[in-house]
Chain A
């Protein structure tokens, strides 16, 4: 028996060591999740502006260019359920919060992640938000929550040939220029390849999701109003290839909701969706700004905020 246990432990040791290395690497190597969570948690007392939204806001707003202490807690595919979970998780500790800037883009109201959405364990680990059926060990090892993703992640990070992104202290990626850079920002190529790139991008139409998201959004807004937190709806810039194929009904549903929200009178809108100040060189792909475009947008938001002060 002793021999068996000794041998089992011996054979397991290298696996345990490799597992620990992977765990430490994934947990502590800077990524947008751990950097944003760390920044938020260590600046809870000072943050005055909170940005929430999806990858559009994640890629579009660099808090470095906002004069007032801000945190951008937007992540890729972050739907209103997650926005709401983050808001209600931190709101009681954000003592100085004055403004909530929440994204309301074309997709925002009709997108809803499934219960097995692959990033949910990350919210659990970094923000202690449990919207899935997670076990305590999901906090210890993120790798096991999505081995496929983390295998590719490790390859990308450990391979010296791949481009390394620079993440600033706010969790913003400062050197991401995406596929448009690969096309040399050539409008013709971008237009020609748009259909392939945007295949199925506008398919997500759901009245059921709209109703759920509307309710969640209203809950957040009501809470903000009750706490005297100013709400600003943000519509991020979108490149024309993305805008060209908008579903008109979906757009109309958003317009009606936005009008009804504005009628309350305590909500402002920052609408950059079709802003001509953004050109092809500001985008990394059809619906996301690149780091340079983000600088432009962040400065514009900063100007607007300063005007309102």
Chain B
């Protein structure tokens, strides 16, 4: 079920009313309703893959229980590895099987030993990368004794399958989300209103900005050989806004929806395109994934401790794995490596933690220096997104080659003025709200009701007016 679908618009109020009017007196019933709603939400897409989620849930729940009874380090390790292998096994099979097969075949052919192997026609279960990481965080934290294993199977099932963030995050940590299932939720008016505002803003980002930018980004990327350099730059910028608004829009709707049910999810995006360097960008982009990799991969590998070589190695590993997490294609790996190259100079010169607070905090305008660094970081990000969006490495290279040709200085062949104007308005609103959790979190809060309502209606009208046909979220494929 898509957040931007009529199905969801019908589903959400029904679940909301049942949750607060039927199940509100009983914690078990609240959790059970969430499980049923979540399985229905996921099964709406393809019910067959519910068995995968259920299996992962059973494995990790059982491993957790066994870990609580086991003190022997070797046996604890075995239990941990069972969970890791099962979860990453599913992920590896569904997402990477054909990629590895293709590359093995190519490699063997290259070394003069051609082999015959056919790929499988595998459907990638929606959200597998997200819930796999979420459930893994539970086992690892229990193994590290950071978290008491749960004995409440329903609560655990609800944690793994919690519908607002099941298919595209934010990837929640068990330490943060699971305890929320142990307490009966009470309706909080302020939280719910805040949730509704965040849902509204998320829908605006997805439907108005992302979907409209997508139409032009697709047109340009799909016909890149026929386009001039300036159009290709525009195409990359459209994709830059598409991916941000698509993904952060989803996160906003997920967080907002969770608030309606009395849950607090972690912020996943914190105005990344206002970053002054790549390190800051990565502290603000897909925060739940970056911190997951930091805590469960980077730090166990040694992090920033050790010599220069260790730092370089660990940085490359984390960025390449992060790229590979996004998809089984070399383009994602190059995208990850490119970001590592951007990041390394900052790490090695110890400048990676220079910009910890949002740009121009408390001010309206940034300084010229801040603006220049923002522009530079944005440019580097746009460049890296070309690899992310391209069909293959050859496509990315030819795309970039055409950008750096004399045609860069010609008038773009595609110039959708309405979308450009809408995107500029969007950037302006994001700039105004950059110190909040989401752009309109505080916008208009102190305005008189008619004015505030006018703002809501303006956003709603924009959603209906500029919205096209419902489009899937990009991150569903990851």
Residues of A132-167 contacting chain B, CB below 8 A? 135, 137, 144, 146-148, 151
Given contacts A8-B196, A135-B6, A147-B468, 9 further A-B contacts (CB under 8 A): A1-B20, A3-B189, A4-B189, A4-B192, A7-B193, A135-B7, A137-B6, A137-B10, A147-B469
Q: Which residues of B are in contact with A by a Cβ distance under 8 Å?
A: 6-7, 10, 20, 187, 189, 192-193, 196, 453, 456-457, 460, 464-465, 467-469
Q: Hey, which chain A residues are within 8 Å of B465, CB to CB? A: 151
Closest residue on chain A to residue B193 by CB atoms? A4
Closest residue on chain A to residue B186 by CB atoms? A1
Q: Hey, which chain B residues are within 8 Å of A144, CB to CB? A: 6
The docked-state distance in angstroms from the alpha carbon of A11 to that of B196 is 12
Distance to closest chain A CB from B247 (angstroms): 23
Distance to closest chain A CB from B208 (angstroms): 12
**Interface residue A14 (Cβ < 8 Å from any Cβ of B):** yes
The docked-state distance in angstroms from the alpha carbon of A268 to that of B457 is 60
Q: Which of A1, A3, A14, A15 has the most CB of B within 10 A?
A: A1
**Contact status of A147 and B464, CB under 8 A, knowing A1-B20, A14-B457, A135-B6:** yes
B189 touching A147, Cβ below 8 Å: no
Distance to closest chain B CB from A115 (angstroms): 14
Residues of A1-21 contacting chain B, CB below 8 A? 1, 3-4, 7-8, 11, 14-15
Closest residue on chain A to residue B192 by CB atoms? A4
Q: Hey, which chain B residues are within 8 Å of A135, CB to CB? A: 6-7
B469 touching A4, Cβ below 8 Å: no
Closest residue on chain A to residue B464 by CB atoms? A147
A11 touching B469, Cβ below 8 Å: no
Closest residue on chain B to residue A148 by CB atoms? B468
27 contacts between A and B (CB under 8 A): A1-B20, A1-B187, A1-B189, A3-B189, A4-B187, A4-B189, A4-B192, A4-B193, A7-B193, A8-B196, A11-B453, A11-B456, A14-B457, A15-B460, A135-B6, A135-B7, A137-B6, A137-B10, A144-B6, A146-B469, A147-B464, A147-B467, A147-B468, A147-B469, A148-B468, A148-B469, A151-B465
Q: Hey, which chain B residues are within 8 Å of A137, CB to CB? A: 6, 10
The docked-state distance in angstroms from the alpha carbon of A7 to that of B193 is 10
The docked-state distance in angstroms from the alpha carbon of A146 to that of B467 is 10
Tell me if A's interface is mostly helix, strand, loop or mixed: helix
Q: Hey, which chain B residues are within 8 Å of A14, CB to CB? A: 457
Distance to closest chain A CB from B9 (angstroms): 9
The docked-state distance in angstroms from the alpha carbon of A135 to that of B10 is 12
Distance to closest chain A CB from B6 (angstroms): 6
Distance to closest chain A CB from B361 (angstroms): 33
The docked-state distance in angstroms from the alpha carbon of A146 to that of B469 is 6
Distance to closest chain B CB from A172 (angstroms): 30
The docked-state distance in angstroms from the alpha carbon of A221 to that of B457 is 55
The docked-state distance in angstroms from the alpha carbon of A151 to that of B196 is 26
The docked-state distance in angstroms from the alpha carbon of A105 to that of B159 is 60
Instruction: Identify the 4 closest CB pairs spanning chains A and B, nearest first.
Output: A1-B187, A4-B192, A148-B468, A4-B189
Distance to closest chain B CB from A138 (angstroms): 9
The docked-state distance in angstroms from the alpha carbon of A147 to that of B189 is 33
- A175-197 interface code vs B (CB 8 A; 1 in, 0 out): 00000000000000000000000
Distance to closest chain A CB from B10 (angstroms): 8
The docked-state distance in angstroms from the alpha carbon of A137 to that of B8 is 13
The docked-state distance in angstroms from the alpha carbon of A34 to that of B425 is 40
Q: Hey, which chain A residues are within 8 Å of B189, CB to CB? A: 1, 3-4
Q: Hey, which chain A residues are within 8 Å of B187, CB to CB? A: 1, 4
The docked-state distance in angstroms from the alpha carbon of A147 to that of B10 is 18
Distance to closest chain A CB from B45 (angstroms): 13
Distance to closest chain A CB from B306 (angstroms): 53
The docked-state distance in angstroms from the alpha carbon of A14 to that of B465 is 15
Distance to closest chain B CB from A106 (angstroms): 28
Distance to closest chain A CB from B452 (angstroms): 10
The docked-state distance in angstroms from the alpha carbon of A192 to that of B189 is 67
Q: Hey, which chain A residues are within 8 Å of B193, CB to CB? A: 4, 7
Distance to closest chain A CB from B463 (angstroms): 10
Q: Hey, which chain A residues are within 8 Å of B453, CB to CB? A: 11
Distance to closest chain B CB from A114 (angstroms): 13
Distance to closest chain B CB from A14 (angstroms): 7
The docked-state distance in angstroms from the alpha carbon of A1 to that of B457 is 22
Q: Hey, which chain A residues are within 8 Å of B460, CB to CB? A: 15
Q: Hey, which chain B residues are within 8 Å of A151, CB to CB? A: 465
Q: Hey, which chain A residues are within 8 Å of B192, CB to CB? A: 4
Closest residue on chain A to residue B187 by CB atoms? A1
The docked-state distance in angstroms from the alpha carbon of A4 to that of B187 is 10
The docked-state distance in angstroms from the alpha carbon of A135 to that of B20 is 28
Closest residue on chain A to residue B460 by CB atoms? A15
The docked-state distance in angstroms from the alpha carbon of A89 to that of B234 is 49
- A228-248 interface code vs B (CB 8 A; 1 in, 0 out): 000000000000000000000
Distance to closest chain A CB from B97 (angstroms): 28
Distance to closest chain A CB from B30 (angstroms): 14
The docked-state distance in angstroms from the alpha carbon of A249 to that of B453 is 62
Distance to closest chain A CB from B428 (angstroms): 24
The docked-state distance in angstroms from the alpha carbon of A143 to that of B389 is 31
Q: Which of B456, B457, B469 has the most CB of A within 10 A?
A: B469
The docked-state distance in angstroms from the alpha carbon of A287 to that of B193 is 56
Q: Which of A7, A135, A147, A148 has the most CB of B within 10 A?
A: A147
Distance to closest chain A CB from B371 (angstroms): 37
The docked-state distance in angstroms from the alpha carbon of A144 to that of B469 is 8
Q: Hey, which chain B residues are within 8 Å of A146, CB to CB? A: 469
Q: Hey, which chain A residues are within 8 Å of B196, CB to CB? A: 8
Q: Hey, which chain A residues are within 8 Å of B6, CB to CB? A: 135, 137, 144
Distance to closest chain B CB from A200 (angstroms): 14
Q: Hey, which chain B residues are within 8 Å of A1, CB to CB? A: 20, 187, 189
The docked-state distance in angstroms from the alpha carbon of A8 to that of B193 is 9
The docked-state distance in angstroms from the alpha carbon of A147 to that of B5 is 13
Distance to closest chain A CB from B204 (angstroms): 15
Q: Hey, which chain B residues are within 8 Å of A4, CB to CB? A: 187, 189, 192-193
The docked-state distance in angstroms from the alpha carbon of A11 to that of B193 is 12
Distance to closest chain B CB from A23 (angstroms): 13
The docked-state distance in angstroms from the alpha carbon of A146 to that of B460 is 18
Distance to closest chain A CB from B449 (angstroms): 10
Q: Hey, which chain B residues are within 8 Å of A8, CB to CB? A: 196
Q: Hey, which chain A residues are within 8 Å of B467, CB to CB? A: 147
The docked-state distance in angstroms from the alpha carbon of A15 to that of B465 is 13
The docked-state distance in angstroms from the alpha carbon of A75 to that of B7 is 30
The docked-state distance in angstroms from the alpha carbon of A8 to that of B187 is 15
The docked-state distance in angstroms from the alpha carbon of A251 to that of B468 is 38
The docked-state distance in angstroms from the alpha carbon of A14 to that of B453 is 11
Closest residue on chain B to residue A5 by CB atoms? B17
The docked-state distance in angstroms from the alpha carbon of A3 to that of B187 is 11
Distance to closest chain B CB from A279 (angstroms): 39
